[in-house]
Amino acid sequence: MSTFQERLAAKGRELQELYRSLYGIDGSGLIELLERKHGERKAELLELDRRREADPSWYLKPGMLAMTMYTDLFAGSFKGIIDRIGYLKKRGVTYLHLMPFLATPDNDNDGGFAVSDYSAVNPAFGTNDDLEELADRLRDEGISLCMDFVMNHTSDEHEWAVRAKEGDVKFQRMYMCYPDRTIPDEYEKTVPEVFPSTAPGNFTWCPEMGKWVFTSFYPKQWDLDYSNPDVFLAVLSYMLDWANRGVSIFRLDAVPYIWKKLGTTCRNLPEVHVIVRMLRLAFEIAAPSVILKGEVVMAPKELAAYFGSSDAPECHLLYGVSTMVNIWGALSSQEARLLESWVERILMLPRTCRFVNYVRCHDDIGWGFDEDREKELGIDPLRHKIFQYSFYEGTFPGSYARGQLYNYDPSTLDARSCGTAASLSGLEEAIQRNDTALVERAIGRIALIHAVVFALPGIPLINSGDEIGQLNDYEYIFSPGKKDDSRYLHRSPFRWDLAELADDPETIQGRISSAIEALHRARETMPEFDDDAEVSTWHTGNSSVFALRRQSGGRTLLCVFSFSDKEEYCRFDYFTGYYRDVFTGRTVEPGRGFSVRSHEYLYLEESRE
Ligand code: GLC
């Protein structure tokens, strides 16, 4: 248990040095900000700071279960969520990630990712006090609130942008604005496009200002200029305010993009890491119960840097994007070798590097596999990508998936995929065809992919609606602000009518939710899921079958996942004796080998008898 002054004494110097290295000015304003915001923290949060300082890996307890959702889609408002806390508790949720909930323009706001006021919630969801009440009530129930903090850009309706448009140079300096194409054209030579078909180019002409503005994402999302210390201080100040209202996890949206430099891709630059390290230090000093989760949708080789080093940690958690991609890749191709090598790579990272693992989130699936590994396996990266998005679009012969393409780029043949977990796993097609055997298979796939997520180190995250097998919603095409963005296919109102069926084990919803609940229960109760367990992949002798071995406290758990659509055989060298599946009680001898049904998964516990 330490005081603000003690933490400042221990960490303030590094923070000030980093600040000076980046901005060339002294950081006394920054320290004053921390002191002021810490002084505004209420008693319950100071108490939480104390508890979490004493237990710094609180967020890695095996019982942690995250859920992500849009406030309006789940329950209309913050008060609506308060009324539904019982549902979250029933599902075992301990970490609630709310998609962006700050004020945005009414339409065309990129699902809330175009923020027009960092200090106010979207009035449609309630008031700032309602949000605080929600955070309080969640905390009382042992649920931590995660806020999506859109730090790379604001909406062009944010006050800073409005003042910039009016010609105020101070506010133009919050963004990256250029009078002609000279510098933008230079940037365009090296900066890739995020949305090549829906928002091509990285600059937008602003007629009011008579300048080009850097817009990595949509034209209405103006990139902030973090080389201006006023931007950093303002953003940090807002984050501390939300932490003081009870947010305890920040998802740093699009963090790799926050620093730009001519001649580079403007992604993952060293200065990004300086800023993330500064955020980490700032929270450790002023609000130490807060943790940072980076949204880093980048090539696998870039990810580890966002954890920083043991001496200078950055994010506590990262979004497990590549794991998600590799799980879907294995499911369609019935081939788990890329998944296995990806998981091997993350298991080699230091223990402090932990991911939030999920099957689906609010975004698309971008087919970013490890190209070197693909080539080693004789897989042509482009053809593989085309296979994946065609499969999940449902156009590949024999595909069971119902999804849509996202940002198809005819010049590179790149595309990503959208759709809910259930629709991509074949449930939509099965229901349409009224075929119970196909429904069975789809449920099997949905359970399988969640079983992988729950077996990995880190925190499992469920995308609200997936726990009841919610299908795609095609209504978005009738909405002008959404129709060109197929991510809205899987962003639809939570189906409370279907959620009610989840208590009946005979229903599709009951089958899926009870499978997920059983995974959560295993994870929560079995010592093999302790965060300090030794985890490794294990060869199965069958490239469709993926396996993980977890060992802790002298106990071994072997988790086996078949991605095949037919019966397969697998064998585990160096395993002796009998193992028993915690879900079905089935007993096998891994060393001698056994067969697995299509899409079967087993959590095999060493049998002590
Ligand atoms: C992140 C979000 C995505 C959004 C983008 C721009 O990648 O996950 O939904 O479009 O940032 O804010």
Residue type, 322: S
Closest ligand 1 atom number to CA of residue 153: 12
pLDDT tens string 316-333: 999 999 999 999 999 999
pLDDT tens string 148-171: 999 999 999 999 999 999 999 999
**The domain containing residue 566 runs over which residues?**
530-606
The response to whether residue 113 sits with its C-beta less than 6 Å from ligand 1 reads yes
- Whose C-alpha lies nearest to ligand 1, atom 7? 254
State residue 320's pLDDT score. Answer: 93
Domain boundary among the residues 176, 205, 223 is at 223
DSSP state of 209: T
Domain of 583, CATH number, reads 2.60.40.1180
Determine the 3-state secondary structure of 85 from DSSP.
Answer: helix
Q: What integer is the mean pLDDT of 578-594?
A: 97
Position 326 in a domain? no
Q: Using an 8 Å Cβ cutoff, are 63 and 71 in contact?
A: no
State residue 525's pLDDT score. Answer: 96
Residue 211 has pLDDT above 70, yes or no: yes
Q: What residues does 555 pair with on adjacent strands?
A: 552
Q: Using an 8 Å Cβ cutoff, are 343 and 456 in contact?
A: yes
Same-domain check for residues 482 and 370: yes
For residue 380, CA distances in Å to 222, 326, 386, 446 come to 37, 16, 10, 27
For residue 402, CA distances in Å to 198, 471, 480 come to 21, 9, 23
The response to whether residue 249 sits with its C-beta less than 6 Å from ligand 1 reads no
pLDDT tens string 218-249: 999 999 999 999 999 999 999 999 999 999 99
Q: What are phi and psi of 286, to 5 degrees?
A: -95, -25
- Whose C-alpha lies nearest to ligand 1, atom 8? 363
State residue 197's pLDDT score. Answer: 84
pLDDT tens string 331-373: 999 999 999 999 999 999 888 889 999 999 999 999 999 999 9
* pLDDT-above-70 percentage for the chain: 100
The response to whether residue 111 sits with its C-beta less than 6 Å from ligand 1 reads yes
pLDDT tens string 254-293: 999 999 999 999 999 999 999 999 999 999 999 999 999 9
Domain of 176, CATH number, reads 3.90.400.10
pLDDT tens string 403-419: 999 999 999 999 999 99
Domain of 452, CATH number, reads 3.20.20.80
**Domains held by the chain: number:** 3
State residue 107's pLDDT score. Answer: 79
- Whose C-alpha lies nearest to ligand 1, atom 9? 363
Expressed in angstroms and rounded, the spacing between residue 362 Cα and the centre of ligand 1 is 9
Expressed in angstroms and rounded, the spacing between residue 112 Cα and the centre of ligand 1 is 9
- Whose C-alpha lies nearest to ligand 1, atom 3? 363
Q: Where are the alpha helices (DSSP H) in 377-477?
A: 381-393, 421-424, 427-432, 436-455
Burial 313-345 (b: 16+ CB within 10 A, else e): bbbbbbbbbbbbbbbbbbbbbbbbbbbbbbbeb
Same-domain check for residues 463 and 369: yes
Closest ligand 1 atom number to CA of residue 114: 12
State residue 351's pLDDT score. Answer: 82
Same-domain check for residues 479 and 550: no
Residue type, 534: E
State residue 453's pLDDT score. Answer: 98
- Whose C-alpha lies nearest to ligand 1, atom 4? 113
pLDDT tens string 480-494: 889 999 999 999 999
Residue 25 has pLDDT above 70, yes or no: yes
pLDDT band at residue 1 using 50, 70 and 90 as cut-offs? low
Position 6 in a domain? no
Q: What residues does 294 pair with on adjacent strands?
A: 252, 318
Same-domain check for residues 448 and 362: yes
pLDDT band at residue 544 using 50, 70 and 90 as cut-offs? very high
The response to whether residue 62 sits with its C-beta less than 6 Å from ligand 1 reads no
Q: Report the residue among 110, 151, 251, 358 best suited for mutation to probe ligand 1: largest number of ligand atoms under 8 A from its CB.
A: 110
Nearest to 385 by CA among 358, 402, 405, 401: 405
Nearest to 463 by CA among 319, 599, 590, 584: 319
Mean of per-residue pLDDT scores for the chain? 96
Position 518 in a domain? no
pLDDT band at residue 609 using 50, 70 and 90 as cut-offs? low
Which residues have a catalytic role annotated? 253, 295
Same-domain check for residues 361 and 414: yes
Residue 196 has pLDDT above 90, yes or no: no
Position 516 in a domain? no
Rounded CA-CA distance 427/441 in Å is 8
Residue type, 558: L
Expressed in angstroms and rounded, the spacing between residue 153 Cα and the centre of ligand 1 is 10
The response to whether residue 363 sits with its C-beta less than 6 Å from ligand 1 reads yes
Expressed in angstroms and rounded, the spacing between residue 324 Cα and the centre of ligand 1 is 16
Expressed in angstroms and rounded, the spacing between residue 253 Cα and the centre of ligand 1 is 7
Expressed in angstroms and rounded, the spacing between residue 148 Cα and the centre of ligand 1 is 10
Residue 608 has pLDDT above 80, yes or no: no
